[in-house]
Amino acid sequence: MTSQPTTRTVRVFRYDPAKGGDGHFDTYTLDIPAPETTTILDVLLRLQREQDPSISFRFACRVNMCGSCGMVINGREALACKTNVAHLPPAQDITIRPLNHFPVIKDLVVDMEPFFAKYEDALPFFEPAKAHDEPYVIKPDDKARVDIGMATDCIACGCCVSSCTMVNHHAGYAGPAALNRAFTLLADERDGLFEARLTRALDSCYACRTEFNCTEVCPKQISGTRAIKYIQRLALKHLKSLKPLPAHPAEDKAKDPAKAGVKAAAAGASSTGCSCGGHHAAPAAPTPTAASPDATACPPSDPGTVCASRRSFLTAAVGAGTVAVLGGILGTAALAPTMGRTPAQWVPVAPLKDIPVGDISTLPLGYTRRQAFHSEQVQTSVLVRHDAPGQVLCFGNSCPHLGCAVSWDPLSSRFKCACHGGAFDRDGNVIAGPPPKGLNRLPWKIEDGILKVEVV
């Protein structure tokens, strides 16, 4: 029933460290007869097998849970294994390049070391404040558990950092992923490192400009912006109890490059300073300017971009009363609206006459999801079982186990997903694998001959 062309032009960023340079794009032509069920990772694997075995890219699980295939697809950060070709405009070329702000190792493979070094700065491990009897029961409706929500599902793919425009302007900025991890622990009342963790997060959380880019691209639909706003509120509330940290090596570099080298070495040998050991100021691996502009420098000529501590500004300029007022404003205007329920909406799928009767079809679904003052474009798929004219069942294509994409397999007459062999019958009931429940059935209706489903 699809009218999309089956032949697509694919442009892949190429960079060979042996040759150096800024890199370039190679163009390939590929026939893709089933764009609804063909992922960008499938496209790359076919290009590697059929046309160019030298293309380098990283992947592992293929079910949206390891995060290793994060890249920029048609200008937007995404997982290659989660992005279907049908999610991209059929009239456009498919352009694939490596994540921004990361040193490029080869082609689409980036060096994740700077990402995980900043992740470590946020003290991403749980340190209990006191011993508890195990298992420790946390009720689903516990307020702290509700606040944390799905933020613990982060797979550290780096898409949020790549999309963040502020990462490139503040060398010491931890970025959305590290701050999201800090948020999940700061919101946990059992955490024994609250002040230390909040002190580290404070140097970063005010670098955020609330652009929601990280929220837009997160493949797990986690709002890094929401996490950062939560930390900002905590920082204002606990400002007096926070103790200053030694200057970050990047700050010293901006003021005195010679002094920065000494400080960076000292920081690496001391546990009282930044645990990164000066990695933020370290020279990066070969980094083509087309894909990853230099994120290590802090322009000294522009006072607005020098990594000055937000703590010093706050302690000098903000009194306790102002802090309370700002905390209330931030909590109400920035955080509270994002924690409200996302309203459901009816979204058109396709004309019912175009959906084959007696078959199960995988159809692309695109819509705008709005929550408070934020909106995002959602590209997904819906599984439609059309038994007889007017008799329809609609299922979401997300596996209730790990969220990987589910597709209909006509040979075995079952829905299948790749996560540990999960399978569902024609009614969406679990018949194999670990999924804890059946496929999510979507409410549907027919209006003017158009099939519509209700989504959140």
- pLDDT tens digit string along 119-157? 998 899 998 888 888 888 888 888 878 888 889 999 999
Are 186 and 197 in contact, with CB atoms under 8 Å apart? yes
Question: Is the pLDDT score of 113 beyond 90?
Answer: yes
Higher per-residue pLDDT: 371 or 2: 371
pLDDT of 169 reads 84
pLDDT of 373 reads 63
Question: Is the pLDDT score of 37 beyond 80?
Answer: yes
Could you list the beta-strand ranges (E) of 271-319. none
pLDDT of 258 reads 53
Question: Is the pLDDT score of 32 beyond 70?
Answer: yes
pLDDT of 273 reads 38
Indicate the pLDDT class of residue 159, thresholds 50, 70 and 90.
very high
CA distance 59 to 79: 9
Are 225 and 208 in contact, with CB atoms under 8 Å apart? yes
pLDDT of 200 reads 86
| Poorest-pLDDT segment among 291-300, 350-359, 375-384 | 291-300
Question: Is the pLDDT score of 101 beyond 80?
Answer: yes
Of 155, 146, 229, residue with least CA distance to 188: 146
Can you read off the two tokens belonging to residue 282?
């370290």
DSSP 301: T
Proportion of the chain above pLDDT 90, given as a percent? 42
Indicate the pLDDT class of residue 97, thresholds 50, 70 and 90.
very high
pLDDT of 253 reads 56
What DSSP element (H or E) covers 79?
Answer: strand 76-79
pLDDT of 410 reads 86
pLDDT of 332 reads 60
| Poorest-pLDDT segment among 18-22, 80-84, 202-206, 348-352 | 202-206
Question: Is the pLDDT score of 289 beyond 50?
Answer: no
176-232 tens-digit pLDDT: 999 999 999 999 888 899 988 998 888 788 889 888 999 999 999 899 999 999 998
What integer is the mean pLDDT of 399-417? 84
pLDDT of 257 reads 53
What integer is the mean pLDDT of 369-390? 81
pLDDT of 444 reads 94
Residues in a beta bridge with 409: 414
| Poorest-pLDDT segment among 238-247, 256-265, 278-287 | 278-287
- What is the signed CA dihedral for 286, 289, 291, 293, rounded to 10 degrees? 90
Q: What is the pTM of this model?
A: 0.66
Question: Is the pLDDT score of 317 beyond 50?
Answer: yes
CA distance 99 to 293: 11
Burial class of residue 115 in the structure, from the number of CB atoms within 10 Å of its CB (0-12 exposed, 13-18 middle, 19+ buried): buried
pLDDT of 341 reads 62
Higher per-residue pLDDT: 149 or 262: 149
End-to-end CA distance of the chain: 26
DSSP notation for 192-230: S-HHHHHHHHHHHHTT-----HHHHH-TT---HHHHHHH
Question: Is the pLDDT score of 44 beyond 50?
Answer: yes
DSSP notation for 112-140: -HHHHHHHHHT--S--BSS--PSSPP--T
